Amino acid sequence: MTTALIHERLQSQLAFHTEIDKLKRVIRRNSLIDGSRRENDAEHSWHLAMMAMTLAEHAPPETDISRVVAMLLVHDIVEVDAGDTFIYDPVAVEGQAALERAAADRIFGLLPEDQGARLRGLWDEFEERRTPEARFARALDRLAPIIANHHNEGGTWPLYKVTARQVMEKVRLIEEGSPTLGEYAARLVAGSVAQGHLAP
């Protein structure tokens, strides 16, 4: 590879990294577990990657955890353009897929072609949930806010009038990726209802 091509490749890589720095500015609906402030997307992605490594034993057998970690690190990059979509807002969710696909085209397209294709492939895999890795990654993505809300007197649930029935629909996604984590999430939901932090 010539010096000029190396420089061009580096410029593309750094343009991507400059762009994804904006993820630190995308504020999510969920608060930190201590309730002190809302978390941003970069913190969320890092936390999920750590969950994948430490909860790997609860993934389906033969799950490639390094692939799960990579998926979790890229899964919300599209929110630089599309913003954070509140999963209990049906109107916002309806238009989410198209916005996020366009964002994926643009942002992953900043990278050299080989790297862009690899990261876009991970993002697509996460969205499609066809592999054990994608289902486990999605399970963690759904579990984290339940844990935060449970430890934060319901967090965003009472604020947006979310019910246990709505949360249990998300628990089904967790069960698809990990029956153990799905069972744990269901217990958290029941506990939150019992404590009066989540409407039945």
Mean pLDDT of the chain: 96
Q: Report yes or no on 85 lying in a domain.
A: yes
Q: Report yes or no on 181 lying in a domain.
A: yes
Q: Report yes or no on 124 lying in a domain.
A: yes
pLDDT at 87 over 90: no
For residues 155 and 58, what is the distance between their CA atoms, to the nearest angstrom?
26
Q: Report yes or no on 103 lying in a domain.
A: yes
Report pLDDT for 1: 83
Domain housing 47: 3-194
The pLDDT-based confidence of 140 (bands split at 50, 70, 90) is very high
Report pLDDT for 39: 96
Report pLDDT for 65: 98
Q: Report yes or no on 154 lying in a domain.
A: yes
pLDDT at 177 over 90: yes
Ramachandran area for residue 161 (φ above 0: left; ψ -120 to 50: alpha; else beta): left
| 151-163: b (≥16 Cβ within 10 Å) or e | bbebbbbeeeebe
For the chain, how many structural domains are there in total?
1
Q: Report yes or no on 200 lying in a domain.
A: no
Over residues 114-131, the pLDDT tens digits come to 999 999 999 999 999 999
pLDDT at 164 over 90: yes
The pLDDT-based confidence of 89 (bands split at 50, 70, 90) is confident
In this structure, are residues 41 and 144 in contact, taking their beta carbons and an 8 Å threshold?
Answer: no
**CATH of residue 122:** 1.10.3210.10
* Residue 129 DSSP code: T
Q: Report yes or no on 78 lying in a domain.
A: yes
pLDDT at 26 over 90: yes
